[in-house]
């Protein structure tokens, strides 16, 4: 049911889509940086009336029947931008999923496949 309310799109044409920047290939159990932002190509408003409230980052490991919640990053309108850089490590290949919440336009998602060697 929640999936019915999550929107997606091309971040170059839609300012709400979270953008994930990370290496396509990483080594097992070694830390690497992941950057997630909203408004990379088209700036998103950052006012009290219209802003990105938070970004969640998830991983779905290859062959897993569950999702791992990596973290939630909350933003204060006018004082912080919807941008986060964090370090993670993976045991096996997975799909990273970023979910962002706009206080007016709801939930937006994007994903990125990461191969683990």
Please pick, among 7, 12, 15, 40, the residue that the annotation labels catalytic. 15
Q: What are phi and psi of 4, to 5 degrees?
A: -65, -20
Please pick, among 51, 94, 102, 109, the residue that the annotation labels catalytic. 102
* Known catalytic residue at 14: yes
Report the C-alpha gap between 42 and 24 in whole angstroms: 24
Please pick, among 40, 44, 51, 94, the residue that the annotation labels catalytic. 44
* Known catalytic residue at 94: no
Q: Please check whether residue 99 is in contact with residue 115, taking contact to mean a CB–CB distance below 8 angstroms.
A: no
Please pick, among 7, 81, 92, 105, the residue that the annotation labels catalytic. 105
* Known catalytic residue at 12: no
Structure tokens at 61: 């490991």
* Known catalytic residue at 69: no
* Known catalytic residue at 51: no
Please pick, among 14, 62, 81, 92, the residue that the annotation labels catalytic. 14
Report the C-alpha gap between 46 and 114 in whole angstroms: 30
Please pick, among 12, 25, 27, 50, the residue that the annotation labels catalytic. 50
* Catalytically active residues, by annotation: 14-16, 44, 50, 102, 105
């Amino acid at each position: 049911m929640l999936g019915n309310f999550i929107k997606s799109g091309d971040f170059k044409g839609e300012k709400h889509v979270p953008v994930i920047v990370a290496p396509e290939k990483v080594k097992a159990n070694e830390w690497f940086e992941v950057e997630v932002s909203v408004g990379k190509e088209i700036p998103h408003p950052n006012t009290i009336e219209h802003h990105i409230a938070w970004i969640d980052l998830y991983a779905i490991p290859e062959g897993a029947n569950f999702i791992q919640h990596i973290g939630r990053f909350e933003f204060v309108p006018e004082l912080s931008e919807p941008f986060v850089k964090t370090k993670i490590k993976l045991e096996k290949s997975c799909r990273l999923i970023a979910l962002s919440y706009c206080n007016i336009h709801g939930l937006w998602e994007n994903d990125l496949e990461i191969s683990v060697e």
